[in-house]
Chains A and B, each alone.
Chain A
Amino acid sequence: DAKTTQPPSMDCAEGRAANLPCNHSTISGNEYVYWYRQIHSQGPQYIIHGLKNNETNEMASLIITEDRKSSTLILPHATLRDTAVYYCIVRVEFSGTYKYIFGTGTRLKVLA
């Protein structure tokens, strides 16, 4: 019952921007979008989250469409160490609490 869809894989040249899309068409008005990445055999690492305004931090930028049905994570200058699986997550409210359901993610490969 993942609420997000992402392309299964993408390649990006080292030094170029990596743009990772995510569809979350059923997102509700007050739900945030969270992005994580997972490098092999480690726990997911938090990258960024947002509600409706674009966000930027030291790792990435997050662009959310005006209708909030999709978003794009931008790694401005990808490095080989950015090779990972990137997950876009929307919380699911259930019986008065929240769950965080992972979709299949995008496997990003940064090429030298």
Chain B
Amino acid sequence: GAVVSQHPSRVICKSGTSVKIECRSLDFQATTMFWYRQFPKKSLMLMATSNEGSKATYEQGVEKDKFLINHASLTLSTLTVTSAHPEDSSFYICSARDLQGLRYNSPLHFGNGTRLTVT
């Protein structure tokens, strides 16, 4: 089955530093990837849609200068949390959909998430 790999799984950083999270589709190509964040005991909240070769589309209320997204290839998207603060501590999850052929209703496949703690 389609596998999405996310790295790192956990990261602790100091306030004011930047953290990069990688999301890779291992056995399929994905022109679009999605980034979510999740607070404890809450649902996933869509942050942005990452498009290969073009700018990401951010959801309302998500700061594009704070959460930099790069989707440079069909198998890799990165999310960089810039100048991190304690309130950015959260669980970040990426997802991608296999677009091989014309299976446009194929489901999203999710990475296992990155737990970010900003001290």
Instruction: List chain A residues, Cβ under 8 A from B6.
Output: 43
For B106, the closest partner residue in chain A by CB is A49
Q: Do the beta carbons of B105 and A49 come within 8 Å of each other?
A: yes
Q: Which of the 9-residue segments A61-69, A73-81, A94-102 touches chain B?
A: A94-102
Q: Do the beta carbons of A43 and B113 come within 8 Å of each other?
A: yes
Instruction: List chain A residues, Cβ under 8 A from B109.
Output: 46
B residues 71-118 in Cβ contact with A at 8 Å: 91, 93, 95, 105, 107-113, 115
For A38, the closest partner residue in chain B by CB is B44
Any A CB within 8 A of the CB of B25: no
- Measured CB to CB, the closest approach of chain A to B73, in angstroms, equals 19
- Give the complex CA separation of A105 and B36 in angstroms: 15
Any A CB within 8 A of the CB of B19: no
- Give the complex CA separation of A95 and B95 in angstroms: 20
Number of B residues contacting the other chain (C-beta, 8 Å)? 23
Q: Do the beta carbons of A34 and B107 come within 8 Å of each other?
A: yes
Choose among A32, A43, A49, A101 the residue that contacts B93 (Cβ–Cβ < 8 A). A43
Number of A residues contacting the other chain (C-beta, 8 Å)? 23
Q: Do the beta carbons of A42 and B108 come within 8 Å of each other?
A: no
Any A CB within 8 A of the CB of B26: no
Q: Do the beta carbons of B32 and A97 come within 8 Å of each other?
A: yes
- Give the complex CA separation of A97 and B51 in angstroms: 10
- Give the complex CA separation of A2 and B107 in angstroms: 18
Q: Do the beta carbons of B107 and A43 come within 8 Å of each other?
A: no
Instruction: List chain B residues, Cβ under 8 A from A104.
Output: 43
- Give the complex CA separation of A99 and B44 in angstroms: 13
Instruction: List chain B residues, Cβ under 8 A from A49.
Output: 105, 107
Q: Which of A34, A38, A43, A104 has the most CB of B within 10 A?
A: A43
Q: Do the beta carbons of B110 and A43 come within 8 Å of each other?
A: yes
Residues of A whose CB lies within 8 Å of any CB of B are 2, 32, 34, 36, 38, 41-46, 49, 51, 87, 95, 97, 99-105
7 A–B contacts from the bound complex (CB under 8 Å): A41-B91, A43-B6, A43-B95, A44-B93, A46-B107, A46-B110, A87-B43
